[in-house]
Amino acid sequence: MAQMDKLMEILTDLHPEIDFETQDGLMDKAILDSMDIVHLVTEIGDEFDVTISAKDLLPENFNSAQAIFEMIERLEEE
C-alpha cells in the first residue's frame, strides 16, 4: 500500500486540483496532457525503479491511478 501512497503523492504534486482517488479517463478525457504523461514517466521511473517506454503510454495504462499502479506492478515483475 505504501507504493500506492507514493504514486498518489506524485500525482497530487502534479495536479493538486484533481481527485485521483475517483477520477477516471485521465488520458482519454485529456485531463492529463502529453507533457503530464511524460512528467509522470520520469517521476515514476525515479521512484519505482521501472522503465516505462513509449509502448506503455496508452490510455488503458494511464486512465486512473489504479491503472498506473497496475502498470508499475507489471513492469516491476518483468
Partner 1 sequence: MLLTSYEFIGFLALVIIINYLCPKKARKYFLLAASVLFYATAGLWGLLYIGAITVLVYISSRLIGKNQEAYAVWAKENKAVLPKEQRKAYREKQAGKRLLFLTVAVILCLGVMVIGRIPGLIAPMGLSFYTLQALGYLIDVNRENIKPERNFFKLSLFIGFFPQLVQGPISRYEELAPSLFEGRDFDIKNISLGVWRIMWGFFKKLVIADRLFSGVQTITSDTSKYRGAYILVLMILFSLELYADFSGGIDIVIGTAKALGIDVQENFIRPYFSKSLKEYWRRWHITMCNWFRNYLFYSVSTAKWLQKFSKFCRKRMGEAFGKRLPLYVATFIVWGATGLWHGFTWNYFVWGLSNWFILMLSEELEPVYEKIRGHIPFADKLPYRLFQMGRTFLLVCCMNLFDCYSSVGDTLGMFGSIFTEGNFGILFDGSLAGIGYSLSDAVIIAAGLLIMLCVSLLQRKGSVRERILRLAPPARYALFTCLLVAVLLFGIYGVGYDSTQFIYNRF
Task: Return residues touching partner 1 (CB under 8 A).
Answer: 30, 33-35, 37-39, 41-42, 45-46, 52-55, 57-58, 78
Distances (CA, A) of 69 to 2, 66, 78: 12, 5, 15
Q: Toward partner 1, which CB reaches closer, 1 or 55?
A: 55
**Interatomic CA distance for residues 2 and 33, integer angstroms:** 26
Least spacing, CB of residue 54 vs partner 1, in Å: 4
Half-sphere exposure of residue 41: CA atoms within 13 angstroms, side-chain side: 15
Least spacing, CB of residue 59 vs partner 1, in Å: 11
Q: Toward partner 1, which CB reaches closer, 21 or 49?
A: 49
